[in-house]
Amino acid sequence: MKKFLEEFKTFALKGNVMDLAVGVIIGTAFGAITTSLINDILMPLIGVIIGGIDFSSLAVTVGGASIAYGNFITAIINFILIAFVVFWLVKAMNKLTEKKKEEAPAAPPEPSAEEKLLTEIRDLLKDKK
């Protein structure tokens, strides 16, 4: 039992698991932000543009079953909008990351074999004096 608990502790505290947990928490918070952006800002604007049509009320009855295809249309629109917003966020983050890489000073180049040899000769001449 003790060995099992030690293995679980090692697994649970491993960096990848902690990174995943942080990712899930941030993803949940980001999901709330994107949902609010879509539902509270973009969808009302789209409603105004298309004349106030509420897709969620669109349905057709076949036999005794009601097929709410309007909800499907709304889900597709939500997906496209969320994908568009995430695309722009990722693009902005990539641009920031590239700027940070450009700002970082480059490491000095490795001396060539000839420079190394000349340095050794110089050091030997210094030692002789």
Boundaries of every domain in the chain: 1-51, 54-129
pLDDT score at 15: 65
User: Do the beta carbons of residue 84 and residue 93 sit within 8 Å?
Assistant: no
Q: Tell me the whole-structure pTM to 2 decimals.
A: 0.49
- Residues in contact with 82: Cβ distance below 8 Å, sequence separation at least 6, in sequence order: 34, 38
Average pLDDT, 10 consecutive residues per value, the chain (129 residues): 83 73 85 82 80 78 88 84 83 83 73 86 83
